[in-house]
Structures are given as structure tokens and as C-alpha cells.
Amino acid sequence: TVTVFVNPVGVSELINKNNVRLYPNPTTGEITLEMDGGESNEWRITVSDLQGRTVVEKLFNSNKINLKLALDNGVYVVRITNKNRNEKVIKKLIINR
């Protein structure tokens, strides 16, 4: 008997205690991020392409931020962490100009 365990590979949203919204998605390049609650108002947003290269990294001190992204069409990974770098949420972002 052979047992095979399969783990799916891809980007999925993590369950988190903060309510995080990213919109519009898909976008033409301008997005809004909103975080409800949480123990920190200091956040780091990192946008990476699907090869893992960081294309945008920003720090902000608000629970709502508007970003204009000058990125090519495609799928990106948005990672939002608090000031202690504890991972809070990962979202998939689609840019379609």
C-alpha cells in the first residue's frame, strides 16, 4: 500500500482576526485597503509578483490606505503585516488595465 499526501500549491487567503478588505479587485491600478480592529495601526504592505519579487513595499499608520500601483497587467500577491512582522493576511490582486 502506498499513501500519497498532496498539498495544493498556490495563493490562498489566510484566516485572520482582523477584517481586511482590498478593493476594487480586479483593478486598473488604484486600490483601497481597509483593516478593522487589530492591535496595531502600523502596517507594512508588500506587493509581489508570482515569481516572488517584491514590486511595492510601503509602511503606513492608518487602518485605511489608498494606493496607486504602476504595475503591468497580471496577478500579484499582497501581504499585510503588523509592525512586529507577524503575518496578518495574504490577498491575491489582479491588475487589468
As for how many domains the chain has, the answer is 1
pLDDT by position in tens, the chain (length 97): 554 544 444 443 444 545 788 999 999 999 999 887 655 568 889 999 999 999 999 998 888 899 999 999 999 999 988 777 776 788 999 999 8
Residue 47 included in any domain: yes
Burial 86-95 (b: 16+ CB within 10 A, else e): eebbbbebeb
Question: Does residue 79 lie within any of the structural domains?
Answer: yes
Complete DSSP assignment for 6-74: ----S--PPP-SSEEEEESSSBSSEEEEEEES-S-S-EEEEEEETTS-EEEEEEE-SSEEEEE----SE
| pLDDT value of position 18 | 53
Which value, to the nearest 10 degrees, does the dihedral of the CA atoms of residues 72, 75, 81, 85 take? -90
Residue 9 belongs to a domain? no
pTM as predicted: 0.75
Residue 74 in domain: yes
90 is in which domain, residue-wise? 19-95
